Structure 1
Amino acid sequence: MESADRVRANTSEAINRRIDRAIEARVREYAQKSSVEITRRIDELDREWDIERLLETNASALAFTGLLLGITKNVKWLLLPAVVLPFLFQHAVQGWCPPVPLLRRLGVRTRKEIDREKYALKALRGDFHTTETAGLPKPD
């Protein structure tokens, strides 16, 4: 099972529905906007950090900080990477770790969720209109 699916499977249905409704609402909102505004939103989505990137970045920063402080200041700081790294491993294996429910409640999305909004906006903009018929013979 893909990681994004595991994150959704380990997220409460209420939170998943809230995230899905927010995506649908934004797509409906952008259906009334210009192509330029849709493009601007797509660019924002390209820069949006998904839950995987956020977890990996935070875990590595905390582990590195704990390691550095454990070596230079006090050995007790080594507890920080000792706690953080198993969480990261747990997330890699199960798609869940203790920070996931909090991040999901804050609205942090999976890459699939971000891409779903992005491709719906591209469809609104008409990106796929020409690809539907590319290479197909014209009807008589």
Structure 2
Amino acid sequence: MIPSTVNRVPQHTAEDINEQIRCDTEERVARLSAAGRQAIDQRLSELDQEWDIERTLEANAATLSLVGFTLGATVNRKWFLFPGVIAAFLLQHAVQGWCPPLPVFRRLGIRTASEIDYERYALKAIRGDFDKLTAEGTAETNAEQVVQAMRR
């Protein structure tokens, strides 16, 4: 069975690493909550720039593939196998959520998009972005309020 997009990377990460990522995020949110709005605004800007595990793996695979192609063209044709192996691992990651560099990147603290969003929306809630949401309007009005709060 193919795991869900949200759960596939944490399922293939050691539980102590997942726990460390969660604890780091929760400690940061607590610290920023006490630091005030300006610190939260700055952190939200930083989160917009943070690379998630998917982007990191894609950049890693592309770099290694280009190295393999370059070595295949200039050194020895056997190097052309290297990009094929990289592509196979990238496909394995897309389907299963695991590939060889994943444990290393996760130990370095590189998070999934969902883990980054968890911090983002916790900070937005603390900042008060969702305080004005009500269930008293039409479904269309309520949906528009939610979308506006998420964009801030």
Name the TM-score, length of structure 2 as normaliser: 0.82
Tell me the residue number matched to 1:75.
77
Tell me the residue number matched to 1:85.
87
Please state whether the residue corresponding to 2:35 is helix, strand or coil. Answer: coil
- Percent of aligned pairs with the same amino acid: 51
Query: Using the alignment, how far apart are the partners of 1:134 and 1:53 within structure 2?
Result: 40
Change (3 A) 1:133 1:125: farther
Query: Using the alignment, how far apart are the partners of 1:134 and 1:75 within structure 2?
Result: 67
Change (3 A) 1:134 1:70: farther
**TM-superposed deviation, 1:135:** 2.7
Query: Using the alignment, how far apart are the partners of 1:62 and 1:30 within structure 2?
Result: 38
Query: Using the alignment, how far apart are the partners of 1:71 and 1:134 within structure 2?
Result: 65
* Residue segments in structure 1 that go unaligned for 5+ positions in a row: none
Query: Using the alignment, how far apart are the partners of 1:132 and 1:38 within structure 2?
Result: 24
Aligned partner letter, 2:12: N
Tell me which of 53, 57, 60 is aligned to 1:58: 60
> Contact 1:91–1:97 (CA<8 Å) still a contact in 2?
yes
Tell me the residue number matched to 2:30.
28
Tell me which of 8, 14, 17 is aligned to 2:16: 14
**TM-superposed deviation, 1:103:** 0.8
> Contact 1:62–1:81 (CA<8 Å) still a contact in 2?
yes
**TM-superposed deviation, 1:25:** 0.3
**Of 77-86 and 18-27, the range deviating more from structure 2:** 77-86
**TM-superposed deviation, 1:134:** 6.6
Name the TM-score, length of structure 1 as normaliser: 0.89
Tell me which of 109, 112, 122 is aligned to 2:111: 109
| Structure with larger RCO (C-alpha < 8 A, sep 6+) | 1
How many residues are paired up?
A: 136
Query: Using the alignment, how far apart are the partners of 2:99 and 2:32 within structure 1?
Result: 34
Aligned partner letter, 1:6: R
C-alpha RMSD over aligned residues: 1.6
**TM-superposed deviation, 1:120:** 0.3
Tell me the residue number matched to 1:118.
120
Aligned partner letter, 1:116: Y
> Contact 1:4–1:95 (CA<8 Å) still a contact in 2?
no
